[in-house]
Structure 1
């Protein structure tokens, strides 16, 4: 009889240990929640006509999204729950929030066409994220293809679609013609997100020649200084540069694909010793 309370106490302690979650598992999820808070706050600020802060919140959400996965891997705190949460958060931060901020700023001047454009962008973001999650499960994909996204990734799409807002901050008149152009541009970015355009991701890591390290550091410092001093000029230039980069990324993908196919054909033609 005396052993029964002892067994109950052991079971209680074991259950308590099972309920405990390491802090390293919580930190990445906390960052994801903060990203959602930033995205939703951006929507509120947009409808309060505090557009610069609204755009800043969307960009902060993108920054937090870029950080949470890396912190999870660094802390070895990645989990299926965190992956699902991150994906759902991306729909809010990079689909809904940019579309509503853009609609409140300029798309509403285009009437129903502006709303349809914002709607298409939000739906394209959902489709793009769903396709990305499915492609992660493809174990037969060649390793080199991990260096490329299929379609413009959601964070980049959110940054690109806000180009009309950056231009508005720089003094471009927000007339009806500009609203219709912004609507068409929004639809274009939506199609780029769900397209098959290969976009270089750099996931395998870039190697920099030793003699280029210092110039690269100075270039990054210069960009950050420009971003701090001429924020909307730098963001507009960054968005345009990303759009210009897309054809070069696609051409690099085709060259790499041709090399891999040639190497595979040569390996098949080589007779076994």
Structure 2
């Protein structure tokens, strides 16, 4: 029997096989930023139901800022991955779909009971549908380059920031709760939900030039510092102004999109006509 099962002694110098392939740290960094933003969004829900609305709103704003950073960090470090893209979408749904709606429910929509909760559900579902459509459109190879400068519908972070306009006004002293404006806020939230799932083009500025003219460098520095200082010193005044300005630019972005679309279709028609007008190649003479 011992001949059938001889003793086996493993070679101590043989390298151990790795069960999993190591992951570069540059791939992990963007995901860490996304998870930090997700923690802020979940913490905002807790703060809202504890009655601390101001830090809850600030947590959502910081989460939105981190959402704009993680993708750029991934591209800068060449650490993009399918896992990171899926994680970012799930975090966006929680941070910008679930959290702002629940914060508004804790603030004033709970006064409308079931109607307020239905508005929360509609906003959250509209957000997840908007994110799903965005992910699908990324895989479209036939999309013209100029269309990448526009979002289809209101983007997720903008939807979250604009949805909290009633809270900004409340912090500035506007009597939102005392004036019985809960039905108005409900309608406002439903309008934003419609804008997110609509096909209304919203300017994104993603394909702006990578290089800035030299004479614009110093003014951009000054304006950036001024905006940052105002945002830190007067956060809710600035958030109110930014929200109103963004909502006001939506019609202009839609008109610009339609103008570019007409130019693109006209150029395509001209190109097709030129191709059709070209004579067919003459076959070579036979032997």
TM-score range, shorter chain: over 0.9
Residue of structure 2 equivalent to 1:262: 266
How many residues are treated as equivalent by the alignment?
Answer: 269
Q: Does 1:31 align with 2:33?
A: yes
Q: Is the 8 A contact 1:95 1:126 kept in 2?
A: yes
Match among 201, 206, 217 for residue 204 of structure 2: 201
> So what's the TM-score if we normalise by structure 2?
0.88
Match among 206, 229, 242 for residue 246 of structure 2: 242
Distance 1:255 1:8, change over 3 A: farther
Task: For residue 135 of structure 1, report the CA deviation from its aligned partner.
Answer: 1.0
Task: For residue 224 of structure 1, report the CA deviation from its aligned partner.
Answer: 1.3
Q: Is the 8 A contact 1:154 1:193 kept in 2?
A: yes
Q: Which aligned segments of 4 or more residues in structure 1 are displaced greater than 3 angstroms?
A: 4-8, 206-213
Q: Does 1:231 align with 2:235?
A: yes
In structure 2, runs of 5+ residues without a counterpart are 1-5, 280-287
Residue of structure 1 equivalent to 2:102: 100
- Distance in 1, matches of 2:180 and 2:223, equals 37
Residue of structure 1 equivalent to 2:132: 130
Distance 1:76 1:180, change over 3 A: same
For each residue in 1:210-246, what CA deviation from the matched residue of structure 2 results, as whole angstroms up to 9, or x when unmatched? 4333333322222211111111010001000000010
Residue of structure 2 equivalent to 1:251: 255
- Distance in 2, matches of 1:9 and 1:167, equals 68
Q: Which has the larger radius of gyration?
A: 2
> So what's the TM-score if we normalise by structure 1?
0.92
Bigger drift between 212-221 and 28-37 goes to: 212-221
- Distance in 2, matches of 1:235 and 1:110, equals 26
For each residue in 1:112-154, what CA deviation from the matched residue of structure 2 results, as whole angstroms up to 9, or x when unmatched? 2222212111111011001111111112222221111100000
- Distance in 2, matches of 1:181 and 1:221, equals 36
The residue matched to 2:181 in structure 1 has which SS?
helix
- Distance in 2, matches of 1:71 and 1:208, equals 20
